[in-house]
Amino acid sequence: MEKSKQIQIGLLALVAILLALNLGGVFNGFGGGDSSEASVREQARNNIAVNSGANAPAAANVNTPNPATPAVEVPTGPTTTVEFTESVFDFGTIDEGEKVSHVYKFKNTGTEPLIIKDAKGSCGCTVPQWPKEPIGVGETGEMLVEFNSKGKSGSQNKRVTITANTNPAQSFINIKGEVLKKEGAATPPVQ
């Protein structure tokens, strides 16, 4: 009788784990659980399309996951692909307190309208502005990112996480450079 209870508990634990993984999104990458060969091929094509572009090494960084990124509601429905002209902008050297802004250009390279749900900087000093309306197939858009160096010094590399109806749902762009500390100012903690 004892062995029977152990088996039942083990099976219940297995079901609970599988349910948690499914609800956590592990199995949602292939169109709602459809694991047919065609869906797998479509998934691979989407991944390749997102990571390709004129500047392949930089574009490869666009979709590198960041485990520290907080969860954002992922758009549902048909997915598309996006390609940024550049994924990293180096502003060079500026003095502490200066603001730098840069426009990142992108194109909807997929087959559905691109809907950007959210864009967040890795800290409050990095603020993105993005188009709220859908970007049609083949159309281009722009994302303005402003970096405020107030209270910053030294090497800076700030990431913007973009959540959209793409696969994967999050893409990344970076703004980086060197901030010269004001004379007589205390060194701020590294972030």
- Give the CA distances from residue 133 to residues 110, 117, 119, 130, 171, in Å, rounded to whole numbers and listed in that order: 16, 10, 14, 9, 18
- Give the CA distances from residue 101 to residues 75, 96, 125, in Å, rounded to whole numbers and listed in that order: 28, 15, 11
| Sign of the alpha-carbon dihedral angle for 53, 34, 76, 111 | positive
In which band, very low, low, confident or very high, does the pLDDT at 76 lie, cut at 50, 70 and 90? Answer: confident
pLDDT of residue 74: 67
69-84 mean pLDDT: 78
> Residue 61 — left, alpha, or beta (φ > 0 → left; ψ -120 to 50 → alpha)?
alpha
Residue 69 pLDDT > 50, yes or no?
no
Question: Which of 112, 101, 105, 160 is CA-nearest to residue 131?
Answer: 105
pLDDT of residue 36: 38
pLDDT of residue 77: 82
Burial (0-12, 13-18, 19+ Cβ within 10 Å), 43: middle
Burial (0-12, 13-18, 19+ Cβ within 10 Å), 8: exposed
Does residue 129 contact residue 101 with C-beta atoms inside 8 Å? no
Q: Which domains does the chain have, with CATH numbers?
A: 36-180 (2.60.40.10)
pLDDT of residue 63: 47
Question: Which of 144, 94, 102, 152 is CA-nearest to residue 123?
Answer: 152
Tens-digit pLDDT profile for residues 93-151 = 999 999 999 999 999 999 999 999 999 999 999 999 999 999 999 999 999 999 999 99
Tens-digit pLDDT profile for residues 2-49 = 776 677 776 666 666 655 555 554 444 433 444 333 443 344 344 333
Higher pLDDT, 55 or 149: 149
pLDDT of residue 7: 73
pLDDT of residue 6: 72
Contacts of residue 155, Cβ cutoff 8 Å, sequence gap at least 6: 176, 177, 178
Task: Scan for tokens 């004379």, then name that residue.
Answer: 183
In which band, very low, low, confident or very high, does the pLDDT at 60 lie, cut at 50, 70 and 90? Answer: very low
Higher pLDDT, 19 or 76: 76
pLDDT of residue 15: 62
pTM higher than the cut 0.75: no
pLDDT of residue 183: 78
Residue 52 pLDDT > 50, yes or no?
no
Q: How far apart are CA 7 and CA 17, in angstroms?
A: 15
